[in-house]
Structure 1
């Protein structure tokens, strides 16, 4: 198990864009988002709380936030307290 992106092998890092595209295809099969946030937290001081590698692919919709500036930090109301 890899703790974060920086512990992935070169092969795993090279495969990541393909996996992100696959996730997008899965999302598009049921939903029609207008945009996406893609992100990773690497280390506790970056906000990582689950210490295995994972990449967040968050579908976004026009109007889902009044001001989407700031990206993933405020995508879940009341969670962006920093």
Structure 2
């Protein structure tokens, strides 16, 4: 099975030497970005320090793109590591999800919502 992130025809929004960003094909909110290392690697924990720095740089650059284009009021940043955590594409990618006031009734708990009954505390 070929990796959808290793495809030459992928439309990159921004990139640097070691990573790039694309819009998520199944966005949680408008503007949902994925930050992806260029090297095919399955887990965040297998990335090099240089790749992590490159992804962090694109998180900042991506935030600037989203602020200009969508003006979100907040962000969720997350990585699914392993099948038990919900990873479905085994090429590590960081989700940068813009959040908007009232996009859900009660956003309290944010990323804790991966286990819905644990989100509100």
Aligned-pair Cα RMSD in Å:
2.1
The residue number in structure 2 matching 1:51 is: 90
Q: Give the helix-richer structure, 1 or 2.
A: 1
Q: How does the TM-score come out when normalised to structure 2?
A: 0.57
- Asked if residue 21 in structure 1 is aligned to residue 48 in structure 2, the reply is no
Q: How does the TM-score come out when normalised to structure 1?
A: 0.81
Runs of 4+ more than 3 Å apart: none
> Deviations 1:25-50 (Å, cap 9, x if unpaired)?
11122110000000000000111111
5+ long unaligned stretches in structure 2: 1-39
Whole-angstrom distance in 1 between the partners of 2:111 and 2:90? 19
SS of equivalent to 1:64: coil
5+ long unaligned stretches in structure 1: 75-79
Distance 1:42 1:81, change over 3 A: same
The residue number in structure 2 matching 1:31 is: 70
Corresponding residue pairs, total: 78
Whole-angstrom distance in 2 between the partners of 1:72 and 1:51? 21
